[in-house]
Amino acid sequence: MGTAGGRILVTGGAGFIGSAVCRHLVAGAAERVVNVDKLTYAGNLGSLQMLETQPNYVHYRTDIGDEQAMLEIMRHEKIDAVMHLAAESHVDRSIDGPDVFVETNIVGTVRLLNAALAYRRELRTEARGRFRFHHVSTDEVFGDLPFDGSVFSEDTAYAPSSPYAASKAASDHLVRAWAHTYGLPVVLSNCSNNFGPYQFPEKLIPLTILNALEEKPLPVYGTGANVRDWLHVEDHARALELVIRQGRPGESYNIGARAERSNLAVVEGICDRLDVRRPRGQGRSYRDLITFVPDRPGHDRRYAIDPSKIERELGWRPQVGFEDGMNMTVDWYLANRWWWEPIRHLRYPGMRLGECSRRSA
């Protein structure tokens, strides 16, 4: 698609990673950013309010599963590339109710692929050659790593453990099939755990911060020994732009920051930061609120990504270190109650934020 400009359609652009991508692209060289998000529970236009007056940004409240509507949007907006981030993404939700993960992540991806293929076939030769479909996926498709020096590469065999991971693995395979069978020019990326501002409060880091502020238990699965490789969401957005603009069609790129931390270490680090920034009374530490809860079924021990390929081929490097990124993240949640408080207390369906439940990581 070239190195500058372009009219880019971002699916799931009101979600955590999608909104970071939209903010990054609008601030950069994108000619137009078209956000398609049907606004499920995790979609929040508040994460994009700074873009509402920008002439190179528009939002469509549309389901990616509506194939004809997606085709019409692509035609109307004269799209050069699709960045597909729309997905159900929470492992615990997939365990409790896998059907919606199949419908969104698998069926929705097929319908979006069909729309993209039909649209590309209508384009003139130059525009057809420029078009790209970028499928954004997760390291969880690779399954579980032992506690050793092994890492996921682009050649690691798929071995998903959860319904969520299986649905993303299926969508990855379907994207590759549309490339091989129909000639759709695709690129794929698989990222490690993201963190940063505007993350929905059911995920480990914001849940821990907000539970602590409300003096509620800080749930940690098992012994907290499970390890994840943490990537700041703005670094991820920068990587995704490089992949869509410069990635080689048919290739996949693993995106990680080489920042492995155990879940317990992450939670303890948040407690230590809050002890300084928002001290509890009587000299108590937020660490006293840590509560170990029964592990979830099939909980993968460790994820770790080797990002050598994207570093070597596209020149990407993370710019935000884990410790600095965590400082900025804690500070952001402290300073932006306007964003998370309505979600925390009004919009979350059912219980479970703030309770000592299985929704901790």
Mean of pLDDT values over 238-259: 98
Taking the domains of the chain in order of start, what are their residue ranges? 7-201+230-261+299-322
Amino acid in position 252: S
140 catalytic, yes or no? Answer: yes
Share of the chain above pLDDT 70, in %: 94
Q: What is the pLDDT of residue 350?
A: 37
- Which of the two residues, 352 and 233, has the higher pLDDT score? 233
* Set 37, 63, 67, 164: catalytic member: 164
Amino acid in position 91: V
pLDDT tens by residue, 174-209: 999 999 999 999 999 999 999 999 999 989 999 999
pLDDT tens by residue, 49-101: 999 999 999 999 999 999 999 999 999 999 999 999 999 988 889 999 999 99
Q: What share of the chain is helix, strand, coil (3-state, %, to 5)?
A: 45, 15, 35
Mean of pLDDT values over 303-329: 98
Q: What is the pLDDT of residue 2?
A: 52
Distance CA 45, CA 265 (A): 32
pLDDT > 70? residue 321: yes
77 catalytic, yes or no? Answer: no
For 323, the enclosing helix (H) or strand (E) is: helix 322-335
pLDDT > 80? residue 120: yes
Spatial CA neighbour of 230 closest among 203, 264, 266, 177: 266
State the SS3 of 189-222: EEECEEECCCCCCCCHHHHHHHHHHCCCCEEEEC
Q: What is the pLDDT of residue 358?
A: 29
pLDDT interval class at 1 (50, 70, 90): low
Distance CA 97, CA 167 (A): 12
* Set 140, 202, 234, 306: catalytic member: 140
CATH number (3.40.50.620, 3.40.50.720, 3.40.50.740, 3.40.50.970) of 7-201+230-261+299-322 reads 3.40.50.720
230 in helix, strand or coil? strand
The CA-CA-CA angle for residues 169, 22, 186, to 5°, reads 40
Q: What is the pLDDT of residue 296?
A: 87
* Set 139, 229, 235, 306: catalytic member: 139
Mean of pLDDT values over 221-227: 97
Q: What is the pLDDT of residue 349?
A: 42
Share of the chain above pLDDT 90, in %: 90
- Which of the two residues, 338 and 351, has the higher pLDDT score? 338
172 catalytic, yes or no? Answer: no
